[in-house]
Amino acid sequence: MTSVRIDTAIPKAEFGRTGHLSTRVLFGAAALSRLSQDRADEVIEQVAAAGINHIDTAASYGESELRLAPWLADHRDEVFLATKTGLRDGPGARAQLEASLERMGVDQIDLIQLHNLVEDDEFVQAHGSGGAVEALAQARDEGLVRFIGITGHGTRIPGMHLRSLAEFDFDTVLFPYNFSMLANPAYRADVEELLARCEQRDVATQTIKAIAHGRWPEQPAERFSWYEPITDADARVNAIRYVLSRPQLFLNTTSDFRLLAHVLEVAASGDLTAASDERMAADQVAQGITPLFDGAALERI
C-alpha cells in the first residue's frame, strides 16, 4: 500500500450547518466495496494517517459498511460518518438504515442520504406521505441519525436537488463536479444556482467524479471504478485542484483505492490553486477527457 506524504494538513471547513469541521476531502468508502478485510484495513489506516475525519459510504456499496465496522469499533468518535439508502418508501428506507447501523456496529450515524434521487416517480414517492423523507426525519427525531441529505449523478441532478430543497430542509447535497461536465452551459447554470441556494441555507455541498476521464471504451479485466479515471498525473492534479480551489466544495475520493494516495497528497500539498480554464481545456483535449454523463445513458445509476 502506497503511503501518503503529508506536507501540510489537509484543510478543513465547516460541513454546512452540521457543526462538524470536516476535511475538504471525504473518504469515499465505495473503495472498500470489493476488498478483503485485510486490504480494507490498510486503506482505512491510510485514510486515518492522512487526517481524514469524514467517511461516506452507502448500503449499496458492496461490503463497504462491513469493512468499516472493525475500525469504527475503536474510532467511531473520530469521524463524521455518512451512509445512504436507495429506497424511496418509508418502511424500506427505515429498515435499510437500521441494517446499515447493524452492519457498521454503531448506534447512530451522522448523515443518512437519499441515494440518487433524480427520477420524477421516485421523487414523488420519497417526498410523499409514507415516503423515505418522512421516515428518515422520524429516525432523526429518535436519534438514529443526526442529519439528512440527498445525492445524485447525471446532468439532471442539480436541478432535482433544487426541487428537493424546496420540499424539505436537507442538510447536505452531493453531485458531480468536474471541468468537462461544467463545460455544459445548462449544467453549469444549474450547479451555480444550487451552490447559491446552499450557501444561503448553509447546506453542505459534496462533489463526486472529480478525476473522471470518461466511460470505459472497453471494460478492463480488473477495475476498481465503473468509470475510467484520469491516468495522467499532472492532469489529475489539475482536476483535484479544480474542485478544491472552490472553498464551498468538499471532494469525495474515487472508488479506485490505488489512486487514493495521490488525491490525498494533492489535497495536503498546500497548493489548491486552480489551473486556468485554458489549461483545463488543454488537458481535456490532450487526455481525451469526456463528460461522464450526457443526459441520456447512465443517468439512473
Q: Do residues 17 and 198 make contact, with C-beta atoms less than 8 angstroms apart?
A: no
* pLDDT number for residue 242: 97
* Whether pLDDT at 249 is above 60: yes
Instruction: Answer whether residue 219 is part of any domain.
Output: yes
Listed in sequence order, the residues at least 6 apart from 274 whose beta carbon sits closer than 8 Å to its beta carbon are 238, 241, 242, 245, 246, 280
User: How confident is the model over 239-266, as a mean pLDDT?
Assistant: 94
Q: For residue 208, is pLDDT > 90?
A: yes
- Give the highest mean pLDDT range of 3-12, 205-214, 230-239: 230-239
The DSSP 8-state label assigned to residue 89 in this structure reads: B
Overall domain count for the chain: 1
List the one residue out of 121, 249, 104 whose CA is nearest residue 174. Answer: 249
* Predicted pLDDT at 223: 62
Q: What proportion of the chain, given as a percentage, has pLDDT over 70?
A: 91
The least confident of 81-95, 200-214, 286-300 is 286-300
pLDDT at 72 over 80: yes
Write out the residue range of the structural domain in which residue 140 sits.
Answer: 12-287
Q: What pLDDT is stored for residue 135 in this prediction? A: 98
> Positive or negative, the Cα torsion across 188, 150, 253, 22?
positive
Residue 106's alpha-carbon distances to 36, 65, 113, 210, in angstroms, are 21, 11, 17, 30
Answer yes or no: is 28 within a domain: yes
> Does residue 296 fall inside a structural domain?
no
> What mean pLDDT comes out for the span 148-165?
96
Res 4: pLDDT: 47
Is 132 domain-assigned? yes
Q: What is the CATH number of the domain that holds 138?
A: 3.20.20.100
In a domain, 59, yes or no: yes
3-state helix, strand, coil in the chain (%, to 5): 45, 15, 40
Res 257: pLDDT:
83
Who contacts 199 (Cβ-Cβ below 8 Å, separation ≥6)?
A: 248
Average pLDDT over residues 192-215: 94
Identify the residue with better confidence: 152 or 291.
152
- Say yes or no to pLDDT of 73 above 60: yes
298 lies in a domain?
no
pLDDT at site 290: 86
Over residues 140-157, the mean pLDDT reads: 96
Place of cell 414517492: 125
Q: What pLDDT sits at residue 2?
A: 47
In the predicted model, is pLDDT for residue 235 greater than 50?
yes
What does 150-181 look like in DSSP terms, one character per residue?
E---STTHHHHHHHHHHHS--SEEEEE--HHH
* Residue 295 in domain: no
* pLDDT value of residue 295: 66
Give the span between the Cα atoms of 248 and 111, in whole angstroms: 19
Residue 211 has pLDDT above 60, yes or no: yes
Please check whether residue 1 lies inside any domain of the structure.
no
CA 24 distance to own-chain centroid? 11
Half-sphere exposure for 222 (CA within 13 Å, toward CB): 5
DSSP SS3 for 212:
strand
Reported pTM: 0.93
SS3 249: strand
Average pLDDT over residues 66-73: 98
Q: What is the dihedral of CA 67, 73, 76, 78, to 10 degrees?
A: -90
For the chain, give the mean pLDDT: 92
Please state, in angstroms and rounded to a whole number, the distance separating the CA atoms of residues 139 and 145: 6
The pLDDT, as a whole number, for residue 163 is 97
**Spatial separation of the C-alpha atoms in residues 290 and 301, rounded to whole Å:** 18
Mean pLDDT of 263-271: 94
Contact in structure between 263 and 211 (CB atoms under 8 Å) = yes
Count of beta carbons in the 10 Å neighbourhood of residue 35: 19
